[in-house]
Amino acid sequence: MTAQLEYPGVQDSDALLSIEGLWKVFGPKAQRVPRRPDLAALDRAALYHQTGCTAAVRDLSFDVAPGEVFVVMGLSGSGKSTLVRCLTRLIEPTAGSLIFEGEDLRAADEKRLRTLRRSKFSMVFQHFGLLPHRKVIDNVSYGLEIRGESKPDRRRRAQEVIDLVGLAGNEHLYPEQLSGGMQQRVGLARALANDPDVLLFDEPFSALDPLIRREMQTEVVRLHREVGKTMVFITHDLSEALKLGDRILLMRDGAAVQLGTGDELVGAPADDYVREFVRDVQRADVLTLRWICREPRPDEPLDGPELGPDVLVREATRLVLEADRPVKVVAGGQLLGVIGDEEILAVVADTN
């Protein structure tokens, strides 16, 4: 989890995927909603009452950097699925721009879109979306098949990804013969098979048992390390978001509430909604020393042990409690602050 601060400072120029003012409105005459400020300002219930429309995604802007795991989080119905589908125009956005590798996706025609979907994007679905009439290997090679690759080629490639996701030996079974976790591995393998640049996950593990879910999360972390793909990962599970996400976008009723790293969300919630959201988090597992260090008091000795700002509170607990003087938080030779027993205990003992 030390990767957290290694994400590149996101600039428009080197963003892989850049979203600007994105709207998706369902309902009659949806286009007018983003255009008319009076309508755009309405909340969900009022909008529905007045126009019969639902704004599933409202005015979102963010960039996704190459190699990043970008997590979108929110309660059910907050528009996550709609958002992720808008990214490849599986759902046609109502307004806004989508720039991928400098190309305007909203201007792309059907054919170009298909080409992109065949080679650049892949998606993993909550309920797997497998084809029950095809064996595992044929499910995995589906994407290769429709782009016209020869049978031996797609067999070989499919076998590779099947091995990669740990499905070896199950190639000739049908999806219904597999457990949920295994089925989602098939979904994962299918997404990886056409070697995309961006992987989109729509709550891929929500339907799985907790144990399996944790295993699969670890699997994703491993894959990310091995293949280094950019990922947009949807979840409603905060711990999952914190575990996987380099950055997290928290949504509510289609709009962005806060965008930041996990410890930013926990350490500096933008509003009460976010605060409520992150309340039950084991803060010690998320917060780093950066968030809890304080100015040294004048009378304090400054010769205690040194730690970096990105060390998790949990990892530092023992050292701080054992030391008989405040621990210094130092970055690049610069003293950021110190941490004493009470700061550590305030976080660790935090039960609310």
Partner 1 sequence: MAAITSDMEIEVRRPRRSVVVGVLLLVWVAAYFVLRGVNTLVLGGQETTGFHDWLTEHRDDVGQGNAFFDAIRIAVDHFVVLLQDVISQPSFDRPVPVIGWLGVVAVSAYLAWAFGNWKVAVLTAAGLGFVGLQGLWQESMDTLALTIAAVLLSLLVAIPLGIWAGLSDRAYKVATLVLDLMQTLPTFVYLAPLTLFFAIGPAAATIATLIYAAPPAVRLTAHAIRSVPPESVEAARSLGSTRGQTLTKVLLPMSRSTVVVGINQTIMAALSMVTVAALIDAPGLGQTVLKALQTLDVGVAFNAGLAIVVLAIVLDRVTTAAGDRPWRTASIRRKVLLGAGAVGVLVAIWFSRTYVWAAEFPSSPNVGSRIAVVTSDVTTWVQDVFGGFTYGVRDAVTNGLLNPLEALLTGSPWWLVTAVVVALAAVLGGWRGALPAAVCLLLLVATGVWHDSMITLASTVLATVVVVAVGLVLGVWAGRNHRVDTWIRPVLDAGQTMPPFVYLVPFLALFGTSRFTAIAAAVVFAVPVTTKIVADGIKAVPVATVEAANSVGSSTWQVISKVQLPVARRAITLAVNQGLIYVLSMVVVGGLVGAGALGYGVAAGFAQSELYGKGLAAGLAIVLLGVLLDRVTQAAARRTGQFKGRGEKR
Q: Which of residues 58-77 bind Mg ion (CB under 5 A)?
A: none
Buried (b) or exposed (e) across 261-273, using 16+ Cβ within 10 A? bbbbbbbebeeee
Q: Which of 64, 192, 164 is nearest to 204 (CA)?
A: 192
Q: Residue 337: name its binding partner from ligand ADP, Mg ion, partner 1, none (Cβ under 5 to 8 Å by kind).
A: none
User: Which is closer to partner 1, CB of 31 or CB of 115?
Assistant: 115
| Degrees, nearest 5: CA angle 72-76-79 | 55
Dihedral of the alpha carbons of 274, 276, 282, 283, in degrees to the nearest 10: 50
Contact region with ligand ADP (CB under 6 A), list: 2-10, 80-88, 237-245, 312-320: 80-88
**Per CB under 6 A, 45 contacts ligand ADP:** no
How many angstroms separate the CA atoms of 261 and 249, rounded?
9
How many angstroms separate the CA atoms of 266 and 230, rounded?
24
**Per CB under 8 A, 241 contacts partner 1:** no
**Per CB under 6 A, 80 contacts ligand ADP:** yes
User: Which is closer to ligand ADP, CB of 80 or CB of 290?
Assistant: 80
Contact region with ligand ADP (CB under 6 A), list: 74-82, 178-186, 237-245, 295-303: 74-82
**Per CB under 6 A, 28 contacts ligand ADP:** no
To Mg ion, the closest distance from the beta carbon of 200 in angstroms equals 12
**Per CB under 8 A, 190 contacts partner 1:** yes
How many angstroms separate the CA atoms of 76 and 71, rounded?
15
DSSP for residue 288: B
| Degrees, nearest 5: CA angle 220-56-107 | 80
In the Cβ-directed half-sphere of 31, how many Cα atoms lie within 13 Å? 1
Contact region with ligand ADP (CB under 6 A), list: 78-86, 270-278, 290-298, 303-311: 78-86
- Pair of tokens at residue 229: 């793909």
**Per CB under 5 A, 81 contacts Mg ion:** yes
Contact region with ligand ADP (CB under 6 A), list: 69-77, 114-122, 149-157, 189-197: 69-77
CA 217 from chain centre, in angstroms, equals 12
**Per CB under 8 A, 236 contacts partner 1:** no
**Per CB under 6 A, 94 contacts ligand ADP:** no
Q: Which residue has the tokens 């808008």?
A: 86
**Per CB under 8 A, 129 contacts partner 1:** yes
Contacting residue, 106, 147, 214, 236, with partner 1 by CB under 8 A: 147
CA 139 from chain centre, in angstroms, equals 25
To ligand ADP, the closest distance from the beta carbon of 298 in angstroms equals 51
**Is the four-CA dihedral 232, 234, 238, 239 of positive or negative sign?**
negative
**Per CB under 8 A, 141 contacts partner 1:** no
Q: Which residues bind Mg ion (CB under 5 A)?
A: 81
* Binding positions for ligand ADP, rule: CB under 6 A: 26, 54, 56, 74, 76-82
